[in-house]
Structure 1
Amino acid sequence: MKILVADDHKLVRDGLKPFLQELAPDVEVLDAANMDEALAAVAGAEGLGLVLLDLMMPGMDGLKGLELLRAKCPDVPVVIVSGFSSRDHVVAAVQAGAAGFIPKTVSGTAMVNALRLVLSGEKYLPSSTFFEEPGSQMSMPSSMTIRPTGVPAPFDKLSRREAEILALLVEGRTNKEIALCLDLQEITIKVHLRNVYRKIGAANRAQAVRIAMSSGWVPAGAA
């Protein structure tokens, strides 16, 4: 499988390659530093299975670059990988046809898990898309509801806080990082995680991540 990494920073392109090679034993990573190079690579690549696209790469012209790539390879998932991951950025990208949106702040493990989800036919969105800041009146747009039929069992048993914590766990965050993100004590995170494991039938954090990723769960309907 060929994967195109379109990003104007060579350090980013080179840094992603070892993680992308975990997706399959025969992965070949192609490079593009601007939109013209990306379009040329897409046109000439046989067996292209995935495109990672920087939101602010030269030639993107907003999201027109994404739309051009989608027109060239409509059957190939295009995932935005960006340092800009506000809700507005994510919503606009998905509405323009992105198969996922991965912030550049996530860990390599979380990125690989997210890309496996995309390659399985699901969409991946960062947890910040689903959980508004305290006091915010924003609600998740209906166009972002990936599973309109509701939260799959056993995830329907999770409280909102437990769903938040599980979403951050899937992103590869440590207990300390989750505690800082949610302004909670680390011991509180451990207690919530024990409840999460019990409710979804996981023995540990690795198994919880695997169950969440394999089910295609997203926290959109968390209570």
Structure 2
Amino acid sequence: MKILIADDHHLILEGVKSKLCELGDDLEFATAMTIDEVRAQLAQGMPPDLLIMDLSMPGASGLDHVVEVRERFPSLPLVMLSGAEDARQMKDLLALGVRGYIPKAYSPDIMLSAIRLVISGGVYVPPMLLDPEPVKPAGQTAADPHAEGSLEGLRSLLTERQVDVLRLLALGKPNKSIARDLSISEGTVKIHLAAIFRALNVRNRVEAVVASRRLSGL
């Protein structure tokens, strides 16, 4: 697997490369420190299997470089790194088709879990996009256990274990990590996920995370 990492700070480049080495031995890394270098790398024969790119780096103008990569290489998984934690910007980027947004304030382990999710075909949605205090409909109070979006409301649909699985899913963890964290088998994780999808009326992991924005504290 070839991974292109684009950032204008050597420390970030080396740190990301070092952590991603935990993905396995069959890895090839390329780096770029400007948007022009990204273009040059992408023009060299076969594109990489994954592009991890800083949102703000020399040559970037707004989201133009993201749009350019998406238009030229629509099937290339693109993950954004950023020092900013702007929820609107995250949503805009996910709407453009990026496969993940990782704030640089996050831990290396979260980054690794997010990349594993993307490699497996998923989309990493930062937990901060989940509303910590959902807006209650008129006439409802925070103390109302049946208020839409409350954690109690979720528990009326899911078991405690399924809530635990959903929490870890929102952190971008793959099934194997969820199983390890909860001391259950991967098969059991899949069973819980199927039940979660049915209960939330969603089709996949990404939709489940988006639907969980209604939850408090997730």
User: Please, what TM-score do these two structures have when normalized by structure 2?
Assistant: 0.67
Over 3 Å counting, the alpha-carbon distance change for 1:72 and 1:207 in structure 2 is farther
Worse-matched range after superposition: 8-17 or 70-79: 70-79
Cα distance in 2 for residues equivalent to 1:26 and 1:204? 24
Cα distance in 2 for residues equivalent to 1:203 and 1:26? 25
Instruction: Report whether the alignment pairs 1:221 with 2:197.
Output: no
Q: State the Cα distance separating 1:69 from its structure 2 match.
A: 1.5
Secondary structure of 1:57's match? Answer: coil
Cα distance in 1 for residues equivalent to 2:4 and 2:179? 36
- 1:141-194 deviation line (CA, Å, top 9, x unaligned): xxxxxxxxxxxxx9x5167xx56992498369xxxxxxxxxxxxxxxxxxxxxx
Q: State the Cα distance separating 1:22 from its structure 2 match.
A: 1.9
Which residue does 1:205 correspond to in 2? 181
Largest Rg, 1 or 2: 2
Structure 2: state its 5+ residue gaps.
Answer: 138-154, 194-204
Cα distance in 1 for residues equivalent to 2:68 and 2:183? 39
User: Retained in 1: the 8 A contact 2:117–2:172?
Assistant: no
Over 3 Å counting, the alpha-carbon distance change for 1:221 and 1:110 in structure 2 is same
Percent identity, please.
31
Equivalent residues in 2 for 1:8-23, closer than 5 Å: 8-23=8-23
Cα distance in 2 for residues equivalent to 1:8 and 1:136? 43
Which residue does 1:40 correspond to in 2? 40
Instruction: Report whether the alignment pairs 1:123 with 2:123.
Output: yes
RMSD: 3.3
Secondary structure of 1:51's match? Answer: strand
Equivalent residues in 2 for 1:105-120, closer than 5 Å: 105-120=105-120
User: Retained in 1: the 8 A contact 2:130–2:210?
Assistant: yes
Whichever residue aligns with residue 221 of structure 1, its letter is A
User: Retained in 2: the 8 A contact 1:164–1:219?
Assistant: no
Cα distance in 2 for residues equivalent to 1:33 and 1:204? 37
Cα distance in 1 for residues equivalent to 2:120 and 2:74? 16
User: Please, what TM-score do these two structures have when normalized by structure 1?
Assistant: 0.65
Secondary structure of 1:93's match? Answer: helix
Q: State the Cα distance separating 1:31 from its structure 2 match.
A: 0.7
Moved over 6 A (4+): 134-137
